[in-house]
Amino acid sequence: MKVFINKRIPETGITMLKEAGLEITIPENDDLSREKWLQYCKNTDAILNVGANAFDHEFFDQCPNVKAIALFSVGFDHVDIKEANKRNIPIGNTPDVLSRATSDVAFLLMQSVSRRASFYFQKVKAGNWGNFDPLYELGQELYGKTLGVFGLGRIGFEMAEKCKKAFGMNIIYHNRNHNDEAEKELDAKYVSFDELIEQSDVLSIHANFKPEQSNLFNASVFERMKKNAIFVNTARGGFHDQKDLYQALVSGQIWGAGLDVTNPEPIEDNDPILQLSNVCVLPHIGSATIEARNGMARLAAENIIAFSKGEKMPHIANPEVY
């Protein structure tokens, strides 16, 4: 079976695929245009895809030979699942192995914003240590405050647990369903969306993104948040309206923002949000650890290998195809 991998992945995944006897193609130059990417896809049986290439109606029409897709990500919002189901194509993903790493970044962003660490680091790099000023660009402490989690799955649970143990934060959350584990172990409280945005001192997004949630966090939401609130997004940039977020920050409607994802992504280098002292932006590095990326490579390879044997993918976004 022919497998196309569009970018380099950790060797552990490559080794697994080779030992399974699969024929692997990895382009030497992995900065592919969509046209060139499609050419590779047309001539393969299965794809192990890294990045946000769109698997839409056009793709499936142009690549009828593709029988399976394994994503090097937990998110699958760039895949038209209905179209994949219609064509009986399983879509694998990589859940759980990046939960700790991604929650670490959310925790890092929360602290960086609360103490304006990114702003002060830039001042030091510029040689502007400054004189002691008791009132200049002060941060805020997090002890005993309320963390609101939008989407309390595995990553959200890891973030909540860190906040509970480190700062004694109170945990509230909004989910499609109640999270019994979080309620039992973290004393988390299920609240409505309105209560979440109105009661959170830190609001952290960890939900799977759906098109109907585009710009869910916009001006009308930011207006109702606390003045001291820190907005953290490590899920998908599409959740927030970035222009509205900027206005909320400069007007003092909310206190700060930490972003590992932006809207658009990548962020434009002249985006005014980058100039604010109460903002920290990272380039989507939630899973960027050796351990997480090795785990993702292993799960993606397991999905491809299982499919090659006629078995169900063990980590699958659309189990209904089986």
From the DSSP assignment, how many helices (H) and strands (E) are in the chain? 12, 12
CA distance 286 to 194: 27
Catalytic residue among 206, 284, 293, 315: 284
CA distance 291 to 201: 31
The reply to whether 268 belongs to the active site is no
DSSP-derived letter for residue 172 is: E
- Tell me the three state secondary structure of residue 185: helix
Nearest Cα to Cα of residue 203 among 243, 247, 253, 250: 253
CB 84 within 8 A of CB 106: no
Whether cis (ω within 30° of 0) applies to the bond prior to 314 is no
- Read off the amino acid at residue 120: Y
Catalytic residue among 115, 174, 236, 240: 236
The reply to whether 185 belongs to the active site is no
- What are the residues whose beta carbons fall under 8 Å from the beta carbon of 145, sequence distance 6 or more? 167, 169, 170, 201, 202
Find residue 180's DSSP bridge partners: none
The residue assigned the tokens 């976004």 is: 317
The reply to whether 265 belongs to the active site is yes
CA distance 139 to 281: 17
Phi, psi of 71 (to 5 degrees): -90, 140
CA distance 217 to 214: 8
Catalytic positions are 236, 265, 284
